[in-house]
């Protein structure tokens, strides 16, 4: 790799900003994010059960990384092995680097589990009892449990010509069993496969009174099966039993140009998700190499995608412990999201919005006003119509209940549902059917583009005027994730903004063209160009000696043209602060290119999810919130809404929030030029600043 600490010799205006060494590989950046998540599991300042939760999240993230990202790289290696991205790496080079980093990450996950968290949990009297340590009473209880609860539903498959290797479900728990002896028909295949039904709990709690166990003693399902698997093979001898798990390509493709019915196409693809191409194999580290080779051959995988693990092959299921033990002293202190005073004092939410724009910052502030907005709209006689986008909303959502109530009350209700919200497709199909049964007008967005914008429009007659009340957000209409993700939501009855939202809905439902919008920036049409134009304006201001600064807070920075625009701005002297939770392909600190760019990532109790674009504009700050990140898909392949925060009071509040994030010296990680991250620590007697804690306290104490 080029030495990035040596200033380029050529004049700035001739530097080729497309040089591969100026970009960080997207997949490696995503693995770096997962390392930061795992670091929370090692942080002594984080409550113990939350540390276990972070470990599980890092494992879940890695699952999705292989299901989607690695699967895509593998496909590209087969289709066009010489293809390169902005970082100059071809697919096979990427796979080699991914394998090295992923194996390092997995090794660390199991080290943290076995050497750090399990001993600490044991100290708190939360114990995982190994087979060798079972007491006689525990063994007897587990024998009965196996015979009564497991044996009747387990179906081992002996491998021979009449019993081919079974289809293995994506991410399911399986066992490969080595056998000697003959079965009742005189067969001796030597191997069998046992699939553990997903309905079975992966962690079983010992009943204290029946087994003389501690109040929070547990045993893994895999341990029980290992101990008693011989019961399934009467007359034969089990020589070995080893758990394994296969991860499959779970991204699906719908050919937008070749389908007549998007709903049927998505349903058809969902049926195949559990049986996509194999992309990763996890096996018990104690498994003999001969058996490992057998499985690799069966799944046609090379050893770079093999992970030999010292513990359960699916650490995600350890999250069950957090609920089972009921130890609030080992979790984050509970908090109650507050309702902003202007809404708490006024029961009529429309009157409050009419008075002035209202900004919500979740999860510090409650999501309940969004639900109340729709509930009041559903019953208000002067509300004529409601239009809503839904990307992810959750089962039994109060948002959906309000929309159904409105439709049954005779109001015109239109909902744009994105069927292809990854891993929520099945729920969204059910949601669409539920809404249609209530006579809601349901459309599935635009063929070829995911509808990712977060918009709600209520049309209300007030006297002789028809008023537009809107809610625009950076996150999904999902009450549960609103307690876990940081997002902004804006209520407004601004006439031009409301007209923009109405036009976008008309575009999504009628497929007609939208005339020029007043205030919204919308992808795939004006968002990308608008962001570039605002960066270019900061460049001009810097060249003219005016105030020039950019602060951007997003989940990912990938799109090449935007990165190059930021590089040009840095060269011109614009001070740029980026707060990027996850992927960042921009490389900061390159002499002559990105010296004026700082990139940090905040990893804390809440998942940072809000997207904010702020431009100094010579002291007249412009602040936008958006549903979209700086990614190709958000700019060109999705419908996104980026909305201005025009109230000076509100945009100053967002600027204050951004300054708080930029002052964090506890949960902040600074991106280095080599693509690694440095955990920022407070210096000496410097006051401890945790941005999320500060914002929580400020909003809890607002007058």
Instruction: Give the pLDDT of residue 184.
Output: 65
Instruction: Give the pLDDT of residue 274.
Output: 65
Residues of the chain with pLDDT under 70: 1-13, 161-162, 184-187, 252-274, 420-424, 511-512, 703
Sign of CA dihedral 479, 656, 563, 64: negative
CATH code of domain 108-329: 3.30.1840.10
CATH 3.30.870.10 fits 522-700, yes or no: yes
Domain ranges of the chain: 108-329, 341-519, 522-700
List residues with catalytic annotation.
Answer: 452
The per-residue DSSP string of 43-97 comes to -TTS-HHHHHHHHHHHHHHHHHIIIIIIHHHHHHHHH-TT---TT---HHHHHHH
CA angle 202, 204, 207 (to 5 degrees): 175
Confidence (pTM): 0.93
Beta strands in 524-676 (DSSP E): 549-554, 575-580, 597-602, 607-608, 611-615, 622-626, 638-644, 668-671
Report residue 37: phi and psi, to 5°: -65, -45
Instruction: Give the pLDDT of residue 266.
Output: 52
Instruction: Give the pLDDT of residue 259.
Output: 43
Q: What is the DSSP letter of 665?
A: S
338, 345, 346, 358: which is closest to 469 by C-alpha? 358
Beta strands in 139-236 (DSSP E): 157-158, 174-180, 191-195, 203-205, 217-220
What number of other Cβ atoms are within 10 A of residue 204's Cβ? 21
Intrachain domains 341-519 and 522-700 with the same fold: yes
- The overall longest dimension of the chain from CA atoms, in Å, is 90
Q: Which residues pair with 485 in a beta bridge?
A: 607
Instruction: Give the pLDDT of residue 258.
Output: 43
Contact 253, 272 (CB under 8 A): no
CA angle 558, 562, 566 (to 5 degrees): 110
Instruction: Give the pLDDT of residue 271.
Output: 57
CA pair distance 660, 690, nearest whole angstrom: 8
Strands 383-390 and 412-417, sheet pairing: parallel
Instruction: Give the pLDDT of residue 113.
Output: 97
CATH fold of 341-519: Endonuclease; Chain A (3.30.870)
HSE on the CB side for 292, CA within 13 Å? Answer: 17
Instruction: Give the pLDDT of residue 261.
Output: 52
Strand, coil or helix: what is 313? coil
Q: What is the DSSP letter of 337?
A: P
Q: For helices 527-543 and 560-572, what crossing angle results, to 10°?
A: 10
Strand, coil or helix: what is 624? strand
366, 365, 346: which is closest to 356 by C-alpha? 346
CA pair distance 413, 390, nearest whole angstrom: 13
Contact 453, 318 (CB under 8 A): no
CA pair distance 473, 46, nearest whole angstrom: 30
CA 180, chain centre distance (Å): 46
Q: Which residues pair with 388 in a beta bridge?
A: 415, 456
């Amino acid at each position: 790799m080029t030495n990035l600490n040596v200033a380029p010799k050529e004049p700035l205006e001739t530097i080729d900003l497309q040089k591969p060494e100026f970009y960080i590989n997207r997949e490696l950046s995503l693995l770096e994010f997962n390392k930061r998540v795992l670091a929370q599991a090692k942080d002594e300042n984080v409550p113990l059960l939350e540390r276990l939760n972070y470990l599980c999240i890092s494992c879940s993230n890695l699952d999705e990384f292989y299901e989607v990202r690695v699967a895509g790289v593998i496909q590209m290696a087969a289709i066009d092995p010489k293809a390169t991205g902005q970082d100059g790496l071809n697919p096979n080079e990427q796979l080699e680097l991914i394998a090295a980093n992923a194996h390092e990450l997995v090794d660390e996950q199991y080290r943290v589990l076995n050497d750090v968290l399990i001993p600490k949990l044991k100290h708190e009297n939360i114990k995982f009892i190994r087979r060798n340590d079972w007491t006689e009473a525990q063994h007897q209880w587990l024998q009965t449990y196996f015979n009564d609860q497991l044996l009747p539903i387990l179906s081992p498959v002996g491998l021979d010509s009449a019993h081919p290797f079974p289809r293995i479900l994506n991410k399911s728990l399986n066992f490969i069993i080595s056998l000697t002896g003959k079965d009742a028909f005189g067969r001796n295949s030597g191997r069998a496969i046992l699939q553990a039904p997903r309905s079975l709990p992966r962690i079983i709690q010992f009943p204290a009174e029946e087994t003389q166990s501690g109040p929070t003693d547990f045993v893994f399902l895999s341990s029980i099966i290992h101990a008693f698997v011989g019961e399934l093979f009467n007359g034969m001898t089990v020589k070995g039993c080893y758990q394994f798990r296969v991860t499959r390509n779970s991204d699906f493709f719908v050919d937008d140009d070749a389908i007549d019915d998007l709903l049927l196409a998505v349903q058809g693809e969902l049926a195949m998700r559990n049986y996509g191409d194999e992309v990763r194999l996890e096996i018990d580290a104690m498994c003999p190499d001969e058996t490992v080779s057998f499985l690799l051959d069966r799944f046609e995988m090379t050893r770079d995608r093999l992970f030999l693990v010292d513990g359960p092959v699916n650490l995600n299921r350890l999250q069950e412990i957090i609920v089972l033990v009921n130890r609030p002293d080992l979790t984050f202190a509970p908090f109650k999201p507050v309702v902003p005073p202007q809404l708490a004092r006024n029961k009529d939410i429309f009157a409050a919005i009419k008075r002035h724009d209202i900004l919500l910052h979740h999860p510090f502030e409650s999501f309940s006003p969004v639900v109340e907005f729709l509930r009041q709209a559903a019953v208000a006689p002067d509300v004529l119509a409601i239009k809503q986008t839904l990307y992810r909303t959750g089962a039994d959502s109060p948002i959906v209940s309000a929309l159904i109530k409105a439709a049954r009350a005779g109001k015109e209700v239109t909902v744009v549902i994105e069927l292809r919200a990854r891993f929520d497709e099945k729920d969204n199909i059910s949601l669409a059917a539920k809404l249609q049964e209530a006579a809601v007008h349901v459309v599935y967005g635009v063929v070829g583009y995911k509808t990712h914008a977060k918009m709600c429009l209520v049309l209300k007659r007030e006297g002789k005027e028809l008023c537009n009340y809107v809610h625009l957000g950076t996150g999904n209409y999902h009450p549960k994730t609103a307690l876990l993700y940081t997002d902004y939501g804006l209520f407004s009855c601004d006439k031009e903004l409301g007209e923009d939202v109405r036009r976008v809905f008309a575009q999504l439902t009628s497929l007609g063209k939208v005339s020029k919008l007043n205030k919204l920036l919308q992808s795939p049409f004006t968002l990308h160009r608008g962001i570039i134009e605002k960066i270019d304006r900061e460049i001009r201001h810097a060249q003219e000696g005016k105030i020039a600064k950019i602060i951007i807070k997003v989940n990912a920075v990938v799109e090449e043209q935007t990165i190059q625009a930021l590089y040009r701005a840095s060269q011109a002297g614009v001070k740029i602060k980026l707060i990027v939770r996850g992927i960042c392909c921009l490389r900061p600190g390159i002499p002559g290119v990105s010296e004026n760019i700082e990139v940090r990532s905040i990893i804390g109790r809440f998942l940072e999810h809000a997207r904010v674009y702020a431009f100094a504009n010579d002291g007249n700050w412009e602040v936008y919130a958006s549903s979209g990140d700086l990614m190709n898909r958000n700019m060109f392949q999705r419908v996104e809404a980026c909305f201005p925060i025009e109230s000076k009071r509100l945009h100053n509040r967002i600027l204050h929030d951004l300054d708080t994030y930029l002052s964090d010296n506890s949960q902040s990680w600074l991106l280095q030029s080599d693509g690694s991250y440095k955990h920022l620590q407070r210096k000496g007697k410097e006051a401890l600043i945790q941005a999320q804690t500060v914002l929580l306290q400020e909003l809890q104490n607002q007058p």
